[in-house]
Amino acid sequence: MSTPRLRVVKTRLSAGINEPIQRADRASVSHRQKVTETYAVLHLEAFAGWLRAAARPESTIYLRTYQVRRIAGQIPNLPSVDGETLTQWLGSQAWKPDTKRSYRSALTIYFGWLHASGRITSNPTLGMPIVTGSHALPRPATDESVQQALATADDRVRLMIRIQATLGLRRGEVARVHTRDVVRDFEGHSLRILGKGSRERLVPLPRGLAAVLLAQPAGWLFPSPAGGPLTPAHVGKLISRALGPGVTPHQLRHRFATRAYAQGQDLLAVQQLLGHARPETTMIYTQVPTASKRFIVDAAA
């Protein structure tokens, strides 16, 4: 039989153990409430529904709603601000031109929808300056970094790397590979890809990779425990971790473009394989072989 003093000690110990759990529960509830309130204030559920009605990919919907939420975290009362506030905010960000251009695009789409849906009376983004994209040289991943990653990664990540390096897919396209997308063609098999802008393309599969994909269980190649495929962000994180510091999954796409262009210097074919809408974009990805440039310079000398 416990004494009153012992019962008090037990009660205090129990309270001490439960207090961190209760604080964590309160913090979790508070976070969910904050997210819900943010969605309500910004009308993000309706915005996401509008993007779906326009047949935008889920990856694009996730990106745009994430960007709007991030901007709203720095600009209070976002839907009611003026164009000068948006321009000053964008100008204050120490980002690369491509990142600024992406966030400007998110703002123009979001405020265009607010205006078109009657939630605001004018569109403050109409006077925002155009952001010129960068013209950096292609940065293909080195063969050494790819081979090292293939040698050290587990089976699942090794297959992710192999698909992206061999076919030049975007990380979101790697994430959404499904066994039903492996189709027969006249010379073997191809992989059907639904890319940006809902543009569909067929990428020929080397025989070895085709055999590996055909041997996989039916369904998503990289399923999520929550159902459906893994998110593009998670796939990118796994590949980045395997590639090591300084090498990104996107550089595997640059590597594919460079190697593909070197085979026949057919820019149109490379453009179609990468799923680009314009050849100018493909040119950013392809590094012209040094030997080709040296041959031209020597011939012109």
Q: Is 196 a catalytic residue?
A: yes
Residue from 196, 201, 234, 237 carrying the catalytic annotation? 196
Residue from 170, 254, 255, 259 carrying the catalytic annotation? 170
Residue from 43, 64, 259, 276 carrying the catalytic annotation? 276
Q: Is 115 a catalytic residue?
A: no
Residue from 253, 254, 255, 259 carrying the catalytic annotation? 253
Q: Exposed, middle or buried, 179 (CB in 10 Å: 0-12/13-18/19+)?
A: middle
Q: Is 103 a catalytic residue?
A: no
Residue from 101, 139, 178, 250 carrying the catalytic annotation? 250
Q: Is 285 a catalytic residue?
A: yes
Residue from 103, 110, 261, 285 carrying the catalytic annotation? 285
Q: Looking at the annotation, which residues are catalytic?
A: 170, 196, 250, 253, 276, 285
